[in-house]
Amino acid sequence: MSYLILVRHGESGWNVDGRFGGWVDVPLTGKGIEESLLCAAEIEKIGLDLAFTSKLVRAQETLFLILSKQKKIGVFVHEAAGSEEDRAESGAEAGMDKKENQYSYPPKTEKNLIPIYSSEALNERYYGILQGRKKDKMKEKYGEEQILHWCRSYDEGPPEGESLKDIYRRAVPYFEREISPPLREGKNVIVCAHQNSLRALIKHIEGISNEDIRKVRLANARPVIYTLFGGGLVRENAEMDPSVKRDF
């Protein structure tokens, strides 16, 4: 049996400030750090083998705090820098196999490490005209119902921004290509990302309809735990925290 753990990042500065964070790099608050450490303690007994996160610092900070309670050390696996031609030349000069990724974690200590992979496919929604704006001000300008529709709807997002459908199209193929295979090999995997990229994954995993996904909200740094059972992923813990329904 293997575990899949999905975690939204801890509270960020713009969660407190009431702004649409999206693709802007905003770090955790003190409360966000505490939330992440509580999450770490909650899943401490699940030995993690592999981790995935977005390119945004609030998700990466949360992940490293969670991994601090693990017996192994988390380390990023980076793609080799430069063009393919540059990498081939530098590899030849150093007498290395061209396929070897010298920017990866050292293979001799692999058993003591948790490889971390980051991808823009797991980034938060790009909010378009709402990006970085105060939520209250945008409600006044466009109306609360319109803001709710843009943020909760599957098919329609903010003008110049992404819908949940757009996020689904980038996050789910990445999940199937990179995250699902190690799960089926028996590895325990954590994905630390964002409200909307995780909603897209949950929609895919649980087969949630376009309408019902509007109701799914994730609390900061609260794990959603799945087990691989009978060829499918089954959610093990309770429903999402209803208190976060106010937060979009």
Per the annotation, the verdict on 9 as an active-site residue is: yes
CB contact at 8 A, 200 and 210: no
Q: How far apart are CA 166 and CA 66, in angstroms?
A: 29
CB contact at 8 A, 59 and 120: no
Residue type, 165: K
Q: Any idea which residue has 């974690």 for tokens?
A: 105
Q: How far apart are CA 80 and CA 86, in angstroms?
A: 10
Per the annotation, the verdict on 124 as an active-site residue is: yes
Which one is catalytic: 35, 124, 162, 194?
A: 124
DSSP string, 63-78: HHHHHTTSSSEEEE--
Q: How far apart are CA 167 and CA 123, in angstroms?
A: 9
Q: How far apart are CA 41 and CA 171, in angstroms?
A: 27
Q: How far is CA 115 from the centre of its chain?
A: 15
Tokens of 177: 């290509």
Which one is catalytic: 9, 35, 61, 162?
A: 9
CB contact at 8 A, 125 and 164: yes
Which sequence positions are flagged as catalytic? 9, 124
